Amino acid sequence: MPYKPKQAEKIYYSIGEVAEKFNVNPSLIRFWEKEFDIIQPFRNKKGNRLFTKADMDNFYIIYHLVKERGFTLQGAKDKMNENKADTIENVEIVASLNRIKDFLLELKEEL
């Protein structure tokens, strides 16, 4: 078997990378950082925000609640505070279903 090097995962993501991943403006990322206590980016000596994988996961949950499900910011905060485990599970189920949908659409195109 040929050697396959592992893809190196980034430890920190810049605010621009986070904004690009979610297709939103960096100002919205800064706003959500101020609104939600669970997002605590590391700041370098220049003051630039550096987000971890955990922050990215939390952004995905917030994005799902606010943008996809239509929650208000206060509603999203309440939902995450009352039962974060259920919220995370629901987000993972939706992501899994979206991957299955994409796979089936790709398979349909090949036929």
Dump pLDDT digits (tens) for 20-44.
Answer: 999 999 999 999 999 988 888 999 8
Dump pLDDT digits (tens) for 57-70.
Answer: 889 889 988 988 89
Q: State how far Cα 107 lies from the chain centre.
A: 27
Dump pLDDT digits (tens) for 69-107.
Answer: 899 999 988 888 887 777 778 888 888 888 899 999 998
Enumerate the domain spans of the chain: 13-110
Task: Specify the fold of 13-110.
Answer: Multidrug-efflux Transporter Regulator; Chain: A; Domain 2 (1.10.1660)
Confidence tier at 4 by pLDDT (50, 70, 90): low
Is the pLDDT at 2 greater than 80? The verdict is no
